Structure 1
């Protein structure tokens, strides 16, 4: 076993141990606004197809799918959260995620359904490597943070 330690917080050439920097945020790795919006679409498509109980907690369109407005708002949020322009905050104010989700019971099952939808979306967008590991970890942290009921 090697005792060599890699510096923390650096993007090492030839390494897949990617961490974001001001010049290289997830927003950039996902393809800018178009790529992030495509991830939001893939997320809600996965939710509509595989997690109906979770989808029903959202505003639905006339076809029973998560509405266009919800998709656009989440895409705008993700753009800023992933290091892009902060247009969500300019339009809607601070995200206040716990407050905005407080009226929904978020238990382990809902957290896991949300994470499965995001994992399917990341798979559909072919997000791999260090950026995928980073996003998997960050999405899991936020999803767990939003839990507001036991179980």
Structure 2
């Protein structure tokens, strides 16, 4: 059985222990800015996806959700583990298990993240790596047919 191999990232970058996606992005502030851009896109373009989150008085995804996701991304991308220290292990499937996550929901989430990465100027090998990883996680969270 042969396995199809993906081509290397466009600029040849692959993460290492010393050159993680977190360091490549520039640290905590840019990672939190990605989380903000993600929810800004969601609020503007994916109202059905935004509606399953806790919303503020203006009907936007609230500050706490944005901060938690930013903390999660910091650790997930190889930075300090603030999320785990504060909230415990992410247990992504368990934490999302109460929501029906189908293909349409997965695709909406990925559209938001892709547009957020576009807004933040994430390109090259880092972008290729993140596109793949976000797609894997989003698909892993599917728990409903369709």
Q: For structure 1, list consecutive stretches of 5 or more residues without a partner in the other structure.
A: 1-7
Query: Which residue is equivalent to 2:131?
Result: 136
Which residue of 98, 103, 107 maps to 2:102? 107
Query: Which residue is equivalent to 1:124?
Result: 119
Counterparts of 1:42 and 1:93, CA distance in 2? 25
Tell me, yes or no, if structure 1 residue 97 matches structure 2 residue 99. Answer: no
Q: CA deviation at 1:25?
A: 0.4
Q: CA deviation at 1:26?
A: 0.5
Counterparts of 1:68 and 1:89, CA distance in 2? 19
How many residues of Structure 1 are paired with residues of Structure 2 in the alignment?
139
Q: CA deviation at 1:74?
A: 0.2
Higher relative contact order (CA 8 A, sep 6+): 2
| Superposed counterparts of 1:34-49, under 5 Å | 34-49=29-44
Q: Deviations over 1:12-44 (max 9, x none)?
A: xxx712110010000011110000000000000
Deviating above 2 A after TM superposition, structure 1's stretches of 4 or more consecutive aligned residues are none
Q: TM-score, normalised by structure 2?
A: 0.93
Which entry has the higher C-alpha Rg, 1 or 2? 1
Tell me, yes or no, if structure 1 residue 28 matches structure 2 residue 23. Answer: yes
